[in-house]
Amino acid sequence: MPRLKLTLPEGSDFETQLNVRVTDLNYGNHLANQALLGMLHEARVRFLAYLNYTELGNATTPGIILADVEIQFRHEAFLADQLNIALRVDQLNRVGFDLYYRVSNVTDQTEIALAKTSIVFFDYHTTHKRASMPASFEQAINAIRETNEKIRKQQP
């Protein structure tokens, strides 16, 4: 059976940390697959907030809707592990983008999972249909990347 192989783009646009909670564990006493999907959702919401966006949008700005998800599990994570989730936007297009996630253990840098979600802009307020990507979204991504590049150049 062929296995899923995700190739993530270089770099990250945003990083956040989450702890594995007891409610995130499965019968094997490690991070459950549905709990990881929930953590990716939490990381995505934090990223959108960082960009001053929300999943639901508002009367003038579309929200987003998840079109699909791919997850490649690499290692187990356990109760109280602190996970770093690095996100990277790629494949921007007229109505959406792909969002890549690299999940790793903060303590030992073990890669826990790789993931990709395909995101579509969606008008929740009037048409209830997909919508065009707002120019301000692409501008916000470019601004983050410019800032990150300046920081990298200042590091020894």
Q: Identify the structural domains of the chain with CATH numbers, from first to last.
A: 14-154 (3.10.129.10)
Q: Among candidates 20, 19, 40, which has minimal Cα distance to 30?
A: 20
List pLDDT tens digits, range 28-40. Answer: 999 999 999 999 9
Encode pLDDT of 75-104 as tens digits: 999 999 999 999 999 999 999 999 999 999
Q: How far apart are the first and last CA of the chain?
A: 45
Closest Cα partner for 97 from 53, 32, 146? 53
Distance CA 103, CA 118 (A): 17
pTM, entire model: 0.95
Residue type (1 letter), 135: A
